[in-house]
Amino acid sequence: MSRIRFMTALLALVITVGCKAQISQGPQDAALNRRIEVLVRSQFNVPQDYSVVIGARKPSNITGYDTLPVALSRGSKTTPVEFLISTDGKMLARLEKFDLAKNPAFSIDVAGRPIRGNPAAKVTVINFDDLECPYCARMHTSLFPGTLDRYKDKVRFVYKDDPLTEIHPWAMHAAVDANCLAEQSGDLYWTYVDYIHSHGEEVSGQDRDVPKSFAALDRIARQEATINKLDGTKLDACLAKQDESKVRTSANEASTLGIDGTPALFVEGERITGVVPEQQLWLVIDRALRAAGVEPPTAPIPSTTPEPTPTPTGKGK
């Protein structure tokens, strides 16, 4: 049913049905139901192969309106949708309730993820990232160092994995390698992510040979481990295993959140989709800081004309 637009119904959308007759038994009921069905189909783009069945109205807690159940069915699957209809049968309304206690954007799992910035900061910026995504690379350079320098210890940054494997053939491998480094050093995780986002074309190579890209990713990870004296044997075992389970769990969480492209950022629940100018990002972070009782940096945000926002890379799921 995800293709039906009424599932993203507007709050308190009120539509004129146009039937002036009072509710009564018999043919007039059928005529009113037909008007309702046609209106629902046209306003919410219900596919032709779905049946629309109007149920019996029930009392509601909204003065002047009854509850009107509408069932949308195709085959064995039925989705109930609840409308309101005025007691005189002239108006149809659609209200949608949101559970403020169960918004998944406020409960993104960041346990065990490397943190950049102040671990004790009251505001967290979570970025669902794809290491092969050029738009993610642009967002990354905006976050580091510019945004981190602006907020210093007031904000912490966490990256989650969301490799778009349908179009980015080495993104999953890169995410696994980054997590292998993270098992031993959060700092080296960020060093690796910095490097890959700034050397994506180098990893892809001119011939776009995926096995060569895998080898390049492993080589870069080993180099960082050697320089920083990590346990090479443990790292080699992790790189060889290429366990994708944690990455896929993160990607599934992204799907649950409705993410269909990268980058996708959440600032204390507020979502930012795609690459945006730094100034727009900073406005969101400033809002979150004030809500947490923290005064944003006093340095003014430059007043510039925003660049056009690129279209984020789609998942094609």
* Confidence band of 185 (pLDDT split at 50, 70, 90): very high
Residue written as token pair 């738009």: 135
Q: Above 60 in pLDDT, residue 308?
A: no
Residues whose CB falls within 8 Å of the CB of residue 114, separated by 6 or more in sequence, listed in order: 158, 159, 182, 186, 187, 189, 190
pLDDT, tens digit, for every residue of 28-40? 688 999 999 999 9
Query: Which of 85-99, 170-184, 236-250, 298-312 is least confident?
Result: 298-312
CATH number of 105-314: 3.40.30.10
CATH fold of the domain at 5-97 = Nuclear Transport Factor 2; Chain: A, (3.10.450)
Average pLDDT, the chain: 87
Q: Where are the domains of the chain?
A: 5-97, 105-314
pLDDT band at 303 (very low <50, low <70, confident <90, very high): low
pLDDT of residue 15: 34
Q: Is 75 left (phi over 0), alpha (psi -120 to 50) or beta?
A: left
pLDDT at 94: 87
Given a contact cutoff of 8 angstroms between Cβ atoms, the answer to whether 122 and 294 are in contact is yes
- 87-91: Cβ within 8 A, 24+ apart: 87/23, 88/22, 88/23, 89/17, 89/19, 89/21, 89/22, 89/23, 89/32, 90/16, 90/17, 90/18, 90/19, 90/20, 91/14, 91/15, 91/16, 91/17, 91/65
